[in-house]
Chain A
Amino acid sequence: MSSSHHSHKETDILIEKQGFDDHFHEHHEGDKYQTNFLFKYIFSMDHKIIARQFLMTGIFWAIIGAAMSIIFRLQLGFPDESIAWLKPILGKWIIINDAGMGSLDPEFYYALVTMHGTIIVFFVLTAGLSGTFSNLLIPLQLGARDMASPFLNMLSYWFFFLSSVVMFYSLFLSTGPFSGGWTAYPPLSALPQASIGSGAGMTLWLVSLALFVVSVLLGGMNYITTVLNLRTKGMSLWRMPLTIWAFLVTAILALLSFPVLFSGFLLLIFDRSLGTSFYISDIFINGMALDRIGGSPILYQHIFWFLGHPEVYIIILPAMGLVSEVLSVHARKPIFGYRAMVYSILAIAFLSFIVWAHHMFMSGVNPFISNFFVVFTLIIAVPSAVKVFNWISTLYGGNIRLNTPMLFCIGFVSMFISGGLTGIFLGNSAIDIQQHDTYFVVAHFHIVMGVAAFFGMFAGVYHWFPKMFGRFMNETLGKVHFWITMIGAYAVFGPMHFLGMAGVPRRYYRFDSFEAFTGFDDMNKFITIAAIITFFAQIMFVVNFFWSMYKGRKVTNQNPWGATTLEWTTPIEAGHGNWPGKIPSVQRWAYDYGKDGIEFTQQHVPLREGEEHSSH
Chain B
Amino acid sequence: MPIVQMFHKELPPDKIQAYKFALWIGMASIIMFFAAITSAYLVRKPVGNWYEFKLPVQFFYSTILIVLSSVFIENAYKSMKLGNENRYKLNIVFGTALGLAFIVMQIISWKVMVSTGLFIDLNVSVSFLYVISGFHALHVIGGLVVLLISLLNAFLIEFQPDPMRILKSNLVRQYWHFVGILWLYLLIFLILQ
Contact = CB atoms under 8 A, between A and B. Distances in A.
Contact of B33 (A32, A260, A275, A294): A260
B12 to A, nearest CB: 8
Contact of B30 (A23, A148, A259): A259
Contacts of B43: 296, 299, 302
B190 interface: no
Nearest to A29: B3
Interface stretch (B15-23, B60-68, B70-78, B154-162): B15-23
Interface size of B as a range: 35 or more
A22 B3 CA distance: 13
Interface string A200-239: 0000000000000000010011101110111000000000
Interface in B1-47: 2-8, 11, 15-19, 21-22, 25-26, 28-30, 32-37, 40, 43-44, 47
B127 interface: yes
A275 B123 CA distance: 10
Given A222-B22, A225-B22, A266-B131, A256 B36 contact: no
B44 A299 contact: yes
A267 B34 CA distance: 12
B105 interface: no
Given A256-B28, A303-B36, A225 B121 contact: no
Contacts of B28: 255-256
Contacts of B127: 270, 274, 276-278
Interface size range on A against B: 35 or more
A149 B5 contact: yes
Contacts of B115: none
A528 interface: no
A230 B7 CA distance: 11
Contacts of B32: 255-257, 259-260
A503 interface: no
B2 A22 contact: no
B28 to A, nearest CB: 6
A45 interface: yes
A30 interface: yes
Contacts, number: 136
Given A27-B6, A150-B3, A278-B127, A229 B18 contact: yes
Contacts of A226: 18
A147 interface: yes
Contact of B2 (A45, A224, A260): A45
Nearest to A231: B15
Interface string A249-285: 0000001111110111011001000111110010000
A255 B25 contact: yes
A263 B6 contact: no
B49 A294 contact: yes
Contacts of B185: none
Contact of B29 (A145, A148, A152, A217): A217
Nearest to B124: A294
Contacts of B11: 229
Interface in A116-157: 144-152
Contacts of A45: 2-3
A306 interface: yes
B108 interface: no
Interface string B103-146: 00000000000000000110110010001000100000000000
B25 A266 contact: no
B169 to A, nearest CB: 19
A24 interface: yes
Contact of A264 (B17, B34, B36): B36
A78 to B, nearest CB: 44
Given A276-B121, A276-B127, A278-B127, A22 B40 contact: no
A229 B16 contact: yes
Contacts of B26: 217, 221
A229 B15 contact: yes
B113 to A, nearest CB: 14
Contacts of A144: 4
B181 to A, nearest CB: 17
A275 B120 contact: yes
Contacts of A274: 120-121, 127
A293 B49 CA distance: 8
Contacts of B2: 45, 149-152
B53 to A, nearest CB: 14
Given A228-B21, A229-B15, A145 B7 contact: yes
A495 interface: no
A276 B34 CA distance: 19
A528 to B, nearest CB: 40
12 contacts: A22-B7, A29-B3, A147-B4, A221-B26, A229-B15, A255-B29, A257-B32, A259-B29, A266-B131, A267-B40, A274-B127, A294-B50
5 tightest A-B contacts by CB?
Answer: A275-B121, A294-B49, A259-B33, A260-B36, A276-B127
Interface of A: 22-24, 27, 29-30, 32-33, 45, 144-152, 217, 220-222, 224-226, 228-230, 255-260, 262-264, 266-267, 270, 274-278, 281, 293-296, 299, 302-303, 306
Given A23-B7, A276-B121, A278-B44, 7 more contacts: A149-B2, A149-B19, A225-B22, A228-B21, A274-B120, A294-B124, A306-B36
